[in-house]
Amino acid sequence: MADGEKANVGFSSYLGVGRESTFKTLVTATAGLDFISASFKTTQEQKVLETVSGKRTYADRMSTSKMVEGEVEFYMAADSDACVHILQNSFGGGNPTTATATGDTVGAGTFEHIFGLNNFDSAYSSLSFNHRKGDAVNGKIFEYNGGRVNELTLSGEVDEALNASASLVLVDSTSTSNNYLSLLAFGGQTPMSFQNMRLSVESTFASLTASAFWFVQSFEFGINNGLKSDSDSRRIGTNVLDVLPPGVANMTFNFSMRFDTLTAYNAMLNETQLSAQIACQGPTMTGSSLRQQILINMPRIYISDSGDPEVGGPDDILKAEVTAMVLRDDSTSTGYAVQAVVRNKTTTYV
């Protein structure tokens, strides 16, 4: 069979996620992720050695650093362990604080997991992936280890589900015959619809409520870990990353809404400190009175651009594109910049 003679179709691909208890140590990645698109790429860079040899062409080359990167887009779901594994890693790994969900039906077995920002220096600081590209006959299976989420973006808008886009830096990859399709459960995750999302903004975090919220058409929250993957994170003797430390975490938060008040404008001019919460709910859990839920808590934000609307014509609804800064709240000893709260039926992520 000649190379390129056959055809491979994307629908038979899969992506499995696993949490590494030791950085760079591959684990069996059996948490299946229903993804929209996945681009995991390995590049073995090379360089030409420029020497003078009496001819007009170069004859020598050498391989340099191995680069392994990944991009994956998916619908975020609270009942998908693969989704939560990626969310947990984007917050720097580490164990969440887990407690039985309050106010639930007796014996329902529902839990709330609070993920705070960590430094990729504790348990589950990296991820492994098993990725089949195509079918089991013509496709190829690749395994990736030492993966950390550099950027994660969560976005919601009218007529859409909660969307997640993750950009990863990984240490190494290899082709394999480990086909985990029979171990993965697909179709179990329930995307969160725009109908069950809200954005609350108040003067203090304690005053945030589920019934008071801003009427927005879209929102986007992002976290950038600033992972250090240049030559300083490598060493002589190997072509893969040796360490993968984070930089300062940078959060982005913006949203779009109809322009009908000066609330955001005045908050920008007056440098008013606000608090915000993004809340997304899924269906009611089996045997429970509570629904699946993902919260993004931001106790201290400042509006840096109130999105003064452009008047483009006589028949337009005026819109404001608002941008906010997310900062750490030092008003208490346990102050934080952002935390994620996931409510589902998983007992623990420790």
Q: What is the pLDDT of residues 38-89, one digit of tens each?
A: 999 999 989 999 999 899 999 999 999 999 999 999 999 999 999 999 999 9
Q: Is the model's pLDDT at 7 over the cut of 90?
A: no
Q: Is the model's pLDDT at 312 over the cut of 80?
A: yes
User: What's the pTM value of the predicted model, to 2 decimals?
Assistant: 0.94
pLDDT of residue 232: 95
pLDDT tens for 77-105 read 999 999 999 999 999 998 999 999 999 99
pLDDT of residue 1: 63
Band the pLDDT of 187: cuts 50, 70, 90.
Answer: low
Q: Is the model's pLDDT at 140 over the cut of 80?
A: yes
Band the pLDDT of 191: cuts 50, 70, 90.
Answer: confident
85: three-class secondary structure by DSSP = helix
pLDDT of residue 123: 86
Band the pLDDT of 3: cuts 50, 70, 90.
Answer: confident
pLDDT tens for 227-256 read 999 999 999 999 999 999 999 999 999 999
Which strand (E) or helix (H) includes residue 325?
Answer: strand 319-326
Q: In the predicted model, what is the mean pLDDT of the chain? A: 94
3-state helix vs strand vs coil in the chain, percent to 5: 10, 45, 45
pLDDT tens for 260-282 read 999 999 999 999 999 999 999 99
Residues 252-270 as b or e (16 or more Cβ within 10 Å = b)? ebbbbbebeeebbbebbee
Question: What is the separation of C-alpha 152 from the centre of its chain, rounded to a whole number of angstroms?
Answer: 3
Which of 128, 146, 135, 145 has its CA nearest to residue 181? 135
Give how far Cα 169 sits from Cα of 26, 172, 198, 245, 345, Å: 15, 10, 32, 11, 30
